[in-house]
Amino acid sequence: MNSSLILSVTTFVYGAAAFFYIAAWIFNVKSAEKAATWTLILGIFGNTIGLLFRWKESYDLGIGHAPLSNLYESLVFFALVIALVYLVLEKKYSIKTIGAFATPLAFFSMAYASLSPKIGETIQPLMPALKSNWLIAHVVTCFIGYAAFALAFGIGLMFMMASWGNDSKTGLLSRLPEKSIMDELMHKMVMFGFLFLTGGIITGAVWANSAWGRYWGWDPKETWSLITWFVYATLLHVRFMKDWRGKRIAVFTVIGFAAVLFTYFGVNYLPGLHSYGS
């Protein structure tokens, strides 16, 4: 058994977890909620084991490095962090409806990594710029931030659905959390993500200095990371200074996550020092 097989199976486990969460929300079945949580835990276990196997395989090939160096590995890690952050959120707040919007993101990340023919799964030697002790710190902090923003995005979609329903107390919308709770969770996820995105930018700058002799060079990835940082900084500013709440913050979380996705995927197709991500 190898890492690719484990991670491929994990993709379908995440898909099953997403199915159970969505079914629990639609049909309001408590047994589906329990199945969803345990299936997600199984997916997290498989995801973790798959990454550890891949790490070991890289050492077996004589090019040992953390499995965080290319688009395939980052997508797999992204799925793991989304699932972990959501599980902590579920444990703390016991609002499993959020899982119907969060776990599909983990599934899509794994599915794109495992099923897309454009993404190679082959373990490759690190290019010189990646051979740094800052690799793990930079990638981990960035992706914890991205995962928090992904959850804020999912909760933002929930809030907008509740708003479009004109406060309906029947059907699917009646099983969404109260708007005040969703508003608070969006805010907390954005603050949490902003903290780690800031850490990711700082560790990336230190890494850039050690690799290329400068802290900042306006590479497309660096530029869009800064744009994303300003989007969320603006969100937090209007929250604290203008007391923006509700739908306006929900819309901001969608815009912010669009910036995250372009920072993550879009700049891989632009010429620059980060183009190795593709």
pLDDT the model gives residue 74: 93
User: What domain range is 44 assigned to?
Assistant: 1-80+94-126
Indicate whether 137 and 106 sit together in one domain.
no
Indicate whether 137 and 190 sit together in one domain.
yes
- Rounded to 5°, angle at Cα 167 from 163 and 170: 120
pLDDT the model gives residue 170: 63
Largest CA distance in the chain: 60
pLDDT by residue for the chain (278 residues), tens only, comes to 799 999 999 999 999 999 999 999 999 999 999 999 999 999 999 999 999 999 999 999 898 889 998 889 999 999 999 999 999 999 999 999 999 999 999 999 999 998 876 677 888 888 777 778 888 899 999 999 999 999 999 999 999 999 886 655 667 888 899 999 999 999 999 999 999 999 999 999 998 888 778 888 888 888 999 999 999 999 999 999 988 998 999 999 999 999 999 999 877 665 555 554 44
pLDDT the model gives residue 278: 41
- Is there a domain that residue 207 lies in? yes
Indicate whether 136 and 274 sit together in one domain.
yes
DSSP, collapsed to helix, strand or coil, labels residue 124 as coil
- Rounded to 5°, angle at Cα 113 from 111 and 119: 135
Whole-angstrom Cα distance, residue 249 to residue 243?
Answer: 10
Indicate whether 153 and 15 sit together in one domain.
no
pLDDT the model gives residue 260: 96
Indicate whether 163 and 231 sit together in one domain.
yes
Whole-angstrom Cα distance, residue 12 to residue 76?
Answer: 13
- Is there a domain that residue 255 lies in? yes
Indicate whether 122 and 159 sit together in one domain.
no
This model's pTM is above 0.85:
yes
- Is there a domain that residue 199 lies in? yes
Indicate whether 118 and 184 sit together in one domain.
no
Q: How far is CA 33 from the centre of its chain?
A: 22
Whole-angstrom Cα distance, residue 170 to residue 174?
Answer: 5
- The dihedrals phi and psi of 212, each to the nearest 5 degrees, come to -125, 0
Indicate whether 132 and 186 sit together in one domain.
yes
Sign of CA dihedral 164, 258, 202, 90: positive
Indicate whether 15 and 72 sit together in one domain.
yes
Spell out a b/e string for 132-169, using b for 16 or more CB atoms within 10 Å of the CB, else e: bebbebbbbbbbbbbbbbbbbbbbbbbbbebeeeeeee
- Is there a domain that residue 85 lies in? no
Indicate whether 141 and 116 sit together in one domain.
no
Domain termination residue (choose one: 126, 149, 184): 126
Whole-angstrom Cα distance, residue 33 to residue 16?
Answer: 12
**Which position has the token pair 């740094």?**
132
E strand residue ranges, 18-177 = none
- Is there a domain that residue 272 lies in? yes
Indicate whether 46 and 154 sit together in one domain.
no
- Is there a domain that residue 89 lies in? no
- Is there a domain that residue 38 lies in? yes
23-28 contact pairs (CB < 8 A, 24+): 24/96, 24/99, 24/100, 25/96, 25/97, 25/100, 25/172, 25/175, 26/172, 28/175
Indicate whether 20 and 114 sit together in one domain.
yes
- Is there a domain that residue 266 lies in? yes
The total number of structural domains in the chain stands at 2
